[in-house]
Structure 1
Amino acid sequence: MIFDFDGTLADTLPVCFLAFQSVFKEFDDREVTPEEIKAMFGPSETGIIRENLTSTDHEKAIDLYYEVYRERHEKIVQDNEEINNLLKLLKTEGYKLGIVTGKARKSLDISLECLGLTNFFDVIITGDDVENPKPHPEGINRALDYLNLSANEAVFLGDSDADIMAGLQANVKTIGVHWLPNYQTVEFSIQPNKIYTNIKDFIESLSENKMKST
């Protein structure tokens, strides 16, 4: 079971937006909205800054992004007991767990550490690990290769059209999730195999599928 991260496993989009807004204000004297930032998503945070910042002082801008992201993470991003319990349940049930995210390794590590999620995952593919970000399936395919799994043995869960398209192109079952307060795509333009708006229903569906297979 492979997950996107921002908006899927953690409600990190608000701190991402704040960190980007701080960078664009400081270096370009430009106000950017969350919607404008979402439109830049695809590359890692460092890629977004390099591609979209007018100022050429990219390294200092990237340093500021991580500084704000780390400093404000604890106040803005709350621990989610339901997510923690879901991951514990999946591990107990014997699922291999993975993350495929456009985030850079550095910001993902900050989030995993702050939220106590560092020990759940068998494979992690970040935006630093791929040449082609989602919706390209490279990240998912890399995760499957690492886990030695075929596409029909995996599910990819995400909150954006890019997630669903990447999953479809990797030939895995896709699940769209709108179970956290903030997520990227309000209405999926590419239909996932399933959509869940709360974790409880997803857990119940796993139990039902397990009963059917026994």
Structure 2
Amino acid sequence: MTKPVTGVLFDVDGTLVDSVYLHVVAWWQALRQHDHDVPMARIHRAIGMGSDKILDELLGAGHDSSDDDAIRAAHSALYAPLWPALRPLPGARRLLDSCADRGLKVVLATSASHPELDALLHCLDADGSLTAVTSADDAEQSKPAPDIVQVALERSGLSADETVFVGDSVWDVRASGQLSIPCVGLTSGGLCAAELLDHGAAGVYEDPQDLLDHLDEALTTAFRMALA
């Protein structure tokens, strides 16, 4: 029999912190610096992947990768000055605190690099609620590969059958799904509810505050999906 939910894994960019569109601009500018004119809408849909995956997604798996390291470095250099503009999404801190107050293990599982993660943690200011934190530097591959999610489980002592993932992108849904972890989607990263549901999300809410307002419902729905 499947265990009750005892832990919640959270993506960060677009899920807890309002950073998605800052990433879009930084990637767009970095690509333009290297003569790649990629529409912002396409870049937006790729956010949530780590930097090891996103260029193949945007430029094609067979693209000339000789400039990839320079493009990634340019993105990092362009994004870092924007860190002071980072803000928690509505209800983000309260959601983390509420999960911890319920006795749930709270784990961050993000495709962000370690320097970016430090900026995100500073923005959230919720260290007291966190059981563990993982980033792209802790896994061989980033989302949609499940590596980061698997490391998050191992560090927190959770198993997949007692865990729910919360994320804002289809990459979050796909990564958690590969480990049979139900994913609750948020539209705060800019995707519509239908797309997240079509990819297998257990339920969709507007932002962290909306999820907090319906937390019992969300956890119950995810638990039922895990039992199915």
Shift of residue 96, structure 1, vs aligned partner: 1.0
Are 1:67 and 2:67 matched, yes or no?
no
Task: Write the letter of the residue equivalent to 1:163.
Answer: D
Task: Write the letter of the residue equivalent to 1:149.
Answer: L
**Take 2:69 and 2:211, find their aligned partners in 1: how far apart are those partners?**
41
Gap change, CA 1:105 and 1:184, over 3 Å in 2:
farther
Shift of residue 156, structure 1, vs aligned partner: 0.4
Aligned to 1:31: 37
**Take 1:79 and 1:206, find their aligned partners in 2: how far apart are those partners?**
18
Task: Write the letter of the residue equivalent to 2:43.
Answer: I
Aligned to 1:160: 169
Q: Is the 8 A contact 1:168 1:174 kept in 2?
A: yes
Give 5+ residue unaligned stretches, structure 1.
Answer: none
**Take 1:209 and 1:79, find their aligned partners in 2: how far apart are those partners?**
21
Query: SS at 2:25's partner residue?
Result: helix
Aligned to 1:17: 24
Q: Is the 8 A contact 2:31 2:38 kept in 1?
A: yes
**Take 2:127 and 2:38, find their aligned partners in 1: how far apart are those partners?**
32
Shift of residue 63, structure 1, vs aligned partner: 3.8
- Which stretch has the larger CA shift, 11-20 or 80-89? 80-89
**Take 1:208 and 1:58, find their aligned partners in 2: how far apart are those partners?**
43
For these two proteins, the number of residue pairs brought into alignment is: 207
**Take 1:31 and 1:118, find their aligned partners in 2: how far apart are those partners?**
39
Query: SS at 1:195's partner residue?
Result: strand
Give 5+ residue unaligned stretches, structure 2.
Answer: 1-7, 220-228
Task: Write the letter of the residue equivalent to 1:136.
Answer: A
Q: CA RMSD in A?
A: 3.1
Task: Write the letter of the residue equivalent to 1:69.
Answer: Y
Identity of aligned residues (%): 26
Shift of residue 208, structure 1, vs aligned partner: 6.2
Gap change, CA 1:205 and 1:92, over 3 Å in 2:
same
Q: Is the 8 A contact 2:134 2:152 kept in 1?
A: yes
Gap change, CA 1:111 and 1:42, over 3 Å in 2:
closer
Gap change, CA 1:204 and 1:72, over 3 Å in 2:
closer
Shift of residue 175, structure 1, vs aligned partner: 0.8
Gap change, CA 1:117 and 1:17, over 3 Å in 2:
farther
Task: Write the letter of the residue equivalent to 1:67.
Answer: A
Task: Write the letter of the residue equivalent to 1:126.
Answer: S
Gap change, CA 1:34 and 1:117, over 3 Å in 2:
farther
What's the TM-score, normalizing by structure 1? 0.79
**Take 2:93 and 2:79, find their aligned partners in 1: how far apart are those partners?**
22
Task: Write the letter of the residue equivalent to 1:175.
Answer: V
1:7-39 Cα distance to aligned partner (Å, 9 max, x none): 11111111101211221222x133332222245
Gap change, CA 1:194 and 1:111, over 3 Å in 2:
same
**Take 1:62 and 1:30, find their aligned partners in 2: how far apart are those partners?**
13
